[in-house]
Structure 1
Amino acid sequence: MNIGNRVRQLRRAKNMKIAELAEAIGVDAANISRLETGKQKQFTEQTLSRLADCLGVDIAELFTSDSKGNTVCKHSDMRKDSANVKDLFRIEILDVSASAGNGLIQGGDVIDVIHAIEYNKDKALAMFGGRPAAELKVINVRGDSMAPTIEP
């Protein structure tokens, strides 16, 4: 789910009209319409903050789906054993990309659609310094600015 679809979903859940949301955050209704239809791709931090506040969510929730069923682990052997499900450490992947170094070549890359990554809880807590999963998010970064330290 992209940010526009998520904003529309949250707005409708609050029974708000586009004009009401626009007025509440101080932008033109056409901007909200372009956001929801995917025609507007860039947003200021201030606009995202106002949107999140008005819709009653954290900024990160604007980039995530409320559907928890679309994960890689859904098709893995771990889901078959309910005891293992309790030991999962799930990190949401935000629907946003960043460019680093040479960056992303549009149309030249195959983009995998992943909604979350799930780790063994004990290993994840060690890997992420004891931080809870709710405090961690992942985004897709394409480019070579970390080469050769990190290679694809």
Structure 2
Amino acid sequence: GEWLRGVYEAHPRERLNFFEHNFEVWRQIWRTLERADAFLFILDVRMPLFHLSLALFQFLAGRFREELGGKPGVEAIPGNVIIVLNKVDLAPPEFVRAWLAYFKSRFPDIPVVPFNVPRSGSAHVADTPAAGELLRALARRTVSKRALG
């Protein structure tokens, strides 16, 4: 319908993720966002841009700009959004550092947290944080909707 036409006008179809073409998926995302205090973009570090939805980023930026009076663009997303680079234990540390630098430069106001399963058996586990850093980031960045009134 009308929503998808707007998505297609803003983004070339070939650059959209599979789910971005499905209105029912968007509807579920909207319902979830209405009830959520935080939003995590969980991206597989081996192909993070494949899992990143710029259309969803822009939707969040527009929503928060309207609700909270933020500045325009992706930078308007407030602190209750976190990018999680998942499965960092499966990638070389320099690869992970490069993606962390990329996302921190592209989205400077959004925390980027590397994450792995603590007992994955990978040689890289000792080099990366796990649940503790993610929980600390959530505690620092999450604002309860109930506190906003």
Instruction: Give the TM-score taking structure 1 as reference length.
Output: 0.28
Higher share in helix: 2
Instruction: Give the TM-score taking structure 2 as reference length.
Output: 0.28
Rg larger in structure: 1
Higher share in strand: 1
